[in-house]
Structure 1
């Protein structure tokens, strides 16, 4: 079995995301293509400028945001999946307590940077479960579906 070496761009991705905060969003230009396509369960964005605006809003509204990168599955030097855990505090969610969400990013890289970034995570665990009325309904539905 051969092991794919870690592509240089993944190391750059890790450096940028490990240091990411509201003051370091300009560093995203070092790793992403200007025509980036970004998708997650809540939004689809086209262009690096739109992605930066999206992240700026997240950092502005949250009291704390931190990403811990985990295991990476390298499909090829141009495509991989990166696990992560996000921890954040938002004054309107969970009474301002720390919320932890696990996720995975599918990344595709080409000339000019990462041109496709899709995040997979449980939007209920991130948002809905921490809203007063909707949270109770969401937890009941999950409990009812469990074996």
Structure 2
């Protein structure tokens, strides 16, 4: 996917082709004191962000991102994405804020860990599906 906004275009290109050897190129698009938050991490700074991605490559099978939707308005960017690893696909979104230099200052990932991950695990998944059925309004 491409986008007319050069900040978004650079991020999309890096994420969709991301390999462990390319982490410096991705991290270079983030401000030195950036903040990154997802359901499992809440870190500040490039070094901490790099550790999050290093851990991803160390623990997951062939992780890759496919960006499906992009919106940019001023210094705000919204990316919808599919994250592929092994036989698993997690659908989520990222809200980013660019600083005055065009670097990512804030990056917040949103995805439903219960639906996208826990429900797909053998024992925990059965429990999550049962709870979901009991809590459903209809």
Asked whether the two chains share a fold, i.e. TM above 0.5, the reply is yes
Shift of 1:18: 1.1
Number of equivalent positions: 134
Contact 2:34 2:44 in 1 (8 A): yes
Question: Unpaired runs of 5+ in structure 1?
Answer: 90-97
Q: Give the TM-score, by structure 1 length.
A: 0.83
- The 1-side partners of 2:111 and 2:85 are apart by 14
- Structure 1 segments, 4+ long, off by >4 Å, are none
Shift of 1:30: 2.7
Contact 1:42 1:123 in 2 (8 A): no
Match of 2:60 in 1: 62
CA RMSD of aligned residues (A): 1.6
Shift of 1:145: 2.9
Contact 2:8 2:72 in 1 (8 A): no
Match of 1:81 in 2: 78
Match of 2:130 in 1: 140
Shift of 1:116: 0.3
Asked if residue 109 in structure 1 is aligned to residue 98 in structure 2, the reply is: yes
Q: Deviations over 1:25-48 (max 9, x none)?
A: 111233111111001112211111
Shift of 1:85: 0.6
Match of 2:45 in 1: 47
Shift of 1:53: 0.6
SS of 1:69's equivalent? strand
Q: Give the TM-score, by structure 2 length.
A: 0.88
> More deviation in 108-117 or 98-107?
108-117
